[in-house]
Amino acid sequence: MRKTGTSSCLPIIAVAVLLLAGCAGGGKTKPADGELLTMSDQTTAQKRAAINLELAVGYYQRHENSVALDKIKLALAADPDFSQAYDMRALIYMDMHENRLADENFQRALRLAPANPEYNNNYGWFLCNNGRERESIAYFETAIKDRNYASPAVAMDNAGMCSLKLDNLVDAEKYFKRAFNFDPGNLKVNENLAQLFYTRKEYDQAKFYIGRLIKANVTDANVLWLGIKIAHKSGDRMTEGALGAELQRFHADSLQYASFQREAFDE
């Protein structure tokens, strides 16, 4: 069985370290010969900036934010217009709850590369989680519309979650379904659709999406508890009992299992 934290509230970001000059220098795209930039076009300073950014990402992923910030300083000292470094620094500050600094760095990255879908998605997620949900949707839409964006389902799912915060279930469903159509194997999207249809008491549809998570051997406590509640509302006592056993096996000390024992299905 696979235990996975699909219910986590961690930001949905894509930290890509592209060691190409096209990503450094604020998104400039062509050298003197008019061709697209490649690694060989990098200056020594740009290469140094890219290496320090790569190190910063590694430290950030290990939650060593102070060291990560220092590497970002070195990257920007080498290339002051390195838009990825500003985006990465914004994500670090976001993780540290330094919201003013995060906002400033996201905006600096977007001034250098306003169409970059990763920056738009990341800034949208920042806005969504800081009481600016309505503003966030435009940034997600910018990311989604970029035909070269490798992970539009991420921005679609984020837009759906922010629509939920605005109590806009119609748009939430629209975004979640778009994300599902693009990436049906995305576990988080399936969970969000299951939760949405459960909230709307459309239990047959909720069963479809939660069933995909169960088949994928997801044993996250929130997913199992949601599956139990859906099965209970659907009158499927066999599935309810089986998922209850799984919840006990993996999360016997959890709040979800305590709720299951109390039969608190509507809490």
Which residue in 188, 238, 239 sits closest to 10, CA to CA? 188
Residue pair 112/83 in contact by the 8 Å Cβ criterion = yes
Question: pTM for this structure?
Answer: 0.84
Domain locations along the chain: 1-114, 190-267
Going by C-beta distance under 8 Å and a sequence separation of 6 or more, which residues neighbour residue 244?
228, 260
CA distance 201 to 195: 10
Check for a shared fold between 1-114 and 190-267.
yes
CA distance 153 to 157: 6
pLDDT in tens, 22-70: 333 444 445 556 677 676 767 899 999 999 999 999 999 999 999 999 9
> Amino acid identity of 152?
P
pLDDT in tens, 63-101: 999 999 999 999 999 999 999 999 999 999 999 999 999
CATH 1.10.760.10 correct for 1-114: no
Residue pair 109/81 in contact by the 8 Å Cβ criterion = no
Three-class secondary structure assignment of 217-263:
CECCHHHHHHHHHHHHHHCCHHHHHHHHHHHHHHHCCCHHHHHHHCC
pLDDT in tens, 133-192: 999 999 999 999 999 999 999 999 999 999 999 999 999 999 999 999 999 999 999 999
Mean pLDDT score of the chain, rounded to an integer? 89
CATH of 190-267, one of 1.25.40, 2.60.40, 1.10.3470, 1.10.287: 1.25.40
CA end-to-end span of the chain, whole Å? 28
Q: Which residue has the tokens 């930039």?
A: 37
